[in-house]
Structure 1
Amino acid sequence: MTDRQVPLKPAATVLLVRDHVKINDKIEVFMVVRHHQIDFASGALVFPGGKVDDGDMDAALIDFLPESERRDDPLRAFKIASIRESFEEANILLARNRQTGRLVTHERLDALADKYRMPLQNGELPILDMVRAENLELATDLLGHFAHWITPAHMPKRFDTHFFIAEAPPHQLAAHDGEESVDSVWIGPNEVLTDADKGIYTVIFPTRMNVEVLSRFDSSKDAVAHAHGTDTFTVLPEMEVTDDGKFLLIPEEAGYSVTRRRIDEIMDK
């Protein structure tokens, strides 16, 4: 047995939110059900996201960002990855027409999706090729930094994941890709928690914790503004072994409702 830690893989995920009053919720978030053959969180209800690609780190992309976003930013590649992944997995593209300064329309989104969505997902071209050819600006300024989770050291696969949040463009229609994700839903945060407890959905622990935080907001605008206006605490859960079992510990400073949870209970969610 070796004590060497598994290397971290940079990853990004995005909470696309909109206002929609339901019985117990005032906002909805777009979530996808991952394919059962995916090697991480297979079959789970998750936010769109994935690993940061080499192409997301290309310095040439700086010229295709808003001027306010061109300063040094350690989160730049994560933001770009979250926009790319939301396009690939949710058919939502947070990008502007550089001529008009407006977010891409639904009609143009359809054309872009037909041409670029699958090649991007298959790694056949980097996102730089698309934004350069289509004269687009990636709207990283719309993304609020919602959370930052690092997979515990004892896990066989480890991710350094940044969660972002943005209001979904009202004129774009979200849809899962049918490849990495096999279903999708606009769903309220409290609805997610209720359905997870009923066994309708599988929701992994970090997703559940961030859904709980999202449930505290009364509007999508408030949720995004809060993310823009507050610092994000890095969560690196630690494992505690006692006579009563194994527990995962979450720092209290992170602001989640749970600071200690039995690992077998987490695995059941």
Structure 2
Amino acid sequence: MTDTEQPASNREGIPAATIIIFRNAPAGGPPEVLMTVRSREMTFAGGMAVFPGGRVDPEDFELGEKVARDSGGAIASDEAAHQIAAVRETLEETGLALGLAGDIDAAKAAEARAMLMREGALAPVLDAFGWRLDLAQITPFARWFPKNEKIVRVYDTRFYLADLGTGAVDVSIDESENTHLFWTTAQGALDAADRGEIKLIFPTRRNLERLALFASFAEAKAQAEAIPVRTIMPRVEERDGRPMLTILEDAGYPVTAEVLDDVARG
């Protein structure tokens, strides 16, 4: 995601996609997820720990239209574009080739990542390496649109799940937007935030609390498939004389309200 885009209206938001990447914990126990710490120089969520992702680019929408046509209506072009953006941003920010199929190994993934950084679009990379999209690897999980008339740059972000299984792969930062990549359990990330070791914005904290419910990727995927994705637009409500930032209570989240003064903003 770059910070050079033009601000969108609060009615529309800036389309974005992020991916929650699971792997089996090396020593057993709850699965781990991949998180990245954004550069403090970034306007949005600078210095915050988030999941890999970014803005949906015009080239993603263009490729999404082709995918939708080829699918015979199985996937809408807008949804395809968001999933493509999640795939592209994952390769760009972490070096992981998720949502892709073909002759893929670590060396080719590194070459593809370098080409993606030069080209700025995924389609030329697919053509050059003879790869194809495999969006079945990605599961829709959530959609957050923290609409606020006081905020100029507002992202309308779709969250996806993906699984690495054993996770025996190397990841590395992109050296521009991110300063650190790390694997952690969802509860481990929440505990680290409580100790002041990392900082979390409101949507990330709520998603980590939801992820902490699951003992495996299979459990997370099953819940995601059972609960239709609805757009979550946090709102302020007065409860017991205190302003609370609240979300939908039937979207799968165990915590649906937080004292407004305690909310971290990116």
Q: TM-score range by the shorter chain?
A: 0.7 to 0.9
Q: Mind listing any 5+ residue stretches in structure 2 that lack a counterpart?
A: 1-8
Aligned residues: 255
4+ residue segments displaced more than 6 Å: none
Q: Distance in 1 between matches of 2:263 and 2:176?
A: 27
> How high is the sequence identity, in percent, across the aligned residues?
29
Residue 162 (structure 2) aligns with: 166
Residue 32 (structure 2) aligns with: 28
Return closer, same or farther for 1:61/1:135 CA change in 2, 3 Å cut-off.
Answer: farther
Residue 214 (structure 2) aligns with: 217
Residue 137 (structure 2) aligns with: 142
Q: Distance in 1 between matches of 2:64 and 2:48?
A: 35
1:33 touches 1:46 (CA, 8 Å); kept in 2? yes
- Which runs of structure 2 are paired with 1:79-228 in the superposition (5 Å)? 79-94=83-98, 95-97=100-102, 104-116=104-116, 118-119=117-118, 124-156=119-151, 157-168=153-164, 170=167, 172-228=169-225
| TM-score (ref. length: structure 2) | 0.85
Return closer, same or farther for 1:59/1:150 CA change in 2, 3 Å cut-off.
Answer: same
Give per-residue Cα distances to partners, 1:65-123, cap 9 Å, x unaligned.
995985435411110000001111111112111xxxx6x2222212222333x22xxxx
Q: In terms of mean alpha carbon deviation, does 79-88 or 173-182 score higher?
A: 173-182
Q: Distance in 2 between matches of 1:66 and 1:182?
A: 38
Return closer, same or farther for 1:71/1:11 CA change in 2, 3 Å cut-off.
Answer: closer
| Root-mean-square deviation over aligned CA pairs | 2.8
Q: Distance in 2 between matches of 1:46 and 1:127?
A: 22
Q: Mind listing any 5+ residue stretches in structure 1 that lack a counterpart?
A: none
Q: Distance in 1 between matches of 2:156 and 2:93?
A: 20
Q: Distance in 2 between matches of 1:266 and 1:28?
A: 25
Give per-residue Cα distances to partners, 1:217-257, cap 9 Å, x unaligned.
11123323432444223211112357945321212112322
Corresponding residue to 1:47 among 51, 67, 86: 51
- Which runs of structure 2 are paired with 1:247-266 in the superposition (5 Å)? 247-266=244-263
Amino acid at match of 2:247: I
Q: In terms of mean alpha carbon deviation, does 4-13 or 231-240 score higher?
A: 4-13
Q: In terms of mean alpha carbon deviation, does 256-265 or 62-71 score higher?
A: 62-71
Q: In terms of mean alpha carbon deviation, does 43-52 or 130-139 score higher?
A: 130-139
1:62 touches 1:70 (CA, 8 Å); kept in 2? no
Secondary structure at the residue paired with 1:154? Answer: coil
